[in-house]
Chain A
């Protein structure tokens, strides 16, 4: 942290006001033990807006003239953007070796050559571009015959514009096989730019998971990745959102959640599938 950084102290009352505001608008839930975290993340917003305490910030969000712009900045601050290419390699391997070939066969069985995927909570784009690379690797020379689209959504505009830029550093590519780096990136210095053939498969879109009407429009996916998103929600939203994820899949489609996440207490609608070192959920 820079030396000019001051952390504003948040009262219990301010915490509750802001926590509830964030929850109502984004579904992201800060439990009572997360006050420190919220303090750290919002201190920067207070500083940027030259405010003296969180109550002022709260009023700004509720009634201020710059309300909608500040809400976007708030979402940028409270969402987490930790991600990388081929994050949790066993999951990506499961996608490549099992789930994707399975949904490809499923489509072929229906006489279709269409693949639809959704990276729900795509952050800065590493995940949807990974999915696109894996699809190309699996379909190989058959790829041109297929109509492939990956929808990538996030609540953070800042993350989305970074995804749109599609430039990454080598750290972000650390789990990726070298061969694929050469194949799908243009490299200059420490910057890796994703090639257009991959980039054009991904459609980036703002989406707030608390907006159940818009989430309800998501339909027809073969595979959905929604990793490390549910942990930010409370039980009510988690259940509603997971049932919407279920509806968004076509039969025999797969849902991947974070490596250490579980739907055990959320739903029994899916069948749990075991892969080497990874789990996924299948709609039947």
Chain B
């Protein structure tokens, strides 16, 4: 079925596209000599987007600074361009799919909760690690499962079969996909990342979040893989995989350890308990990204 899937994907003309502004921002961000004014100007071409970026930068779950950041220019100065571009990507991609009626039909709320929870947990985890990742972990967490949306939208029946299969057999969804499609959500998501021209680290996260040791951007992928696991502990899992695990035995954990992160001093228990409140943050982010809280 793999070839059929790939062929069909090529044929599909209404594959979702990123808003033009966002594509330009991504290209611009990769250029060497970008000024704050340029970046700010281009984001301001889409006023709702600019407002959402500010809202996320000020949200407690993102928690950049204690004081409110009141303008986009100031946000760019304080957070840096890279981080702002990452926030833009996180919001835009989610908006594309949340607005797209063609989008996911499968357990939609549960799916987005899982993605957003992964992003938020990845962000707090990075804070615990004291790593400087400029928001890559956040957008990476949000987008790691993007391939599932395509599978659901364009291959709905077999995808549902795979979903049921994973629940019945308590196996990871990608194993069920591989059995039924011969291709996984990671591979399909990766194709979309290429098509959209998303930064390479995002493609890497999308493709390798189940095997961080195979990744090129190892620490980023490992962080997202750990956040993805931790969503299971907080009941934000998606799919049928068995939800009990020993963190210190996980591939991502070992990758970070080998890279010199001092994981031993992390209070994993306290960190896990702090996730009890992640639900509110998830709701808050989703209403910001989908524009439901406008004017509030």
Contact = CB atoms under 8 A, between A and B. Distances in A.
B267 interface: yes
B267 A274 contact: no
Contact of B269 (A264, A275, A276): A264
A94 B232 CA distance: 13
Interface residues of A, number: 17
A249 interface: no
A275 B267 contact: no
B233 interface: yes
Interface stretch (B125-133, B144-152, B242-250): B242-250
A271 B267 CA distance: 13
B249 A276 contact: no
Contacts of B103: none
B249 A275 contact: no
B234 A279 contact: no
A275 to B, nearest CB: 5
A276 B233 contact: yes
A264 B268 CA distance: 8
Contacts of A187: none
Interface string A266-281: 0010011111110100
B107 interface: no
B269 A272 contact: yes
Interface residues of B, number: 21
Interface in A246-284: 260, 262-265, 268, 271-277, 279, 282
Contact of B270 (A94, A264, A273, A277): A264
Interface string B255-282: 0000000001001111011000000000
Nearest to A264: B267
Contacts of B272: 274, 279
B245 A274 contact: yes
B230 interface: yes
Interface string A32-67: 000000000000000000000000000000000000
Contacts of A94: 244
Nearest to B234: A277
B71 interface: no
A276 B243 contact: yes
Contacts of B233: 274-277, 279
Nearest to A278: B233
A264 B230 CA distance: 18
B237 interface: yes
A98 B269 contact: no
B252 to A, nearest CB: 13
A194 B270 CA distance: 36
Nearest to A273: B246
Interface of A: 94, 98, 260, 262-265, 268, 271-277, 279, 282
Given A272-B246, A274-B245, 18 more contacts: A264-B270, A271-B246, A271-B248, A272-B247, A272-B248, A272-B268, A274-B232, A274-B243, A274-B244, A274-B272, A275-B244, A276-B232, A276-B234, A276-B235, A276-B244, A277-B233, A279-B269, A279-B272
29 contacts: A260-B273, A262-B267, A262-B269, A262-B273, A264-B267, A264-B269, A264-B270, A271-B246, A272-B246, A272-B269, A273-B244, A273-B246, A274-B229, A274-B230, A274-B243, A274-B245, A274-B247, A274-B272, A275-B233, A275-B244, A276-B232, A276-B233, A276-B234, A276-B244, A277-B233, A277-B234, A277-B235, A279-B233, A279-B272
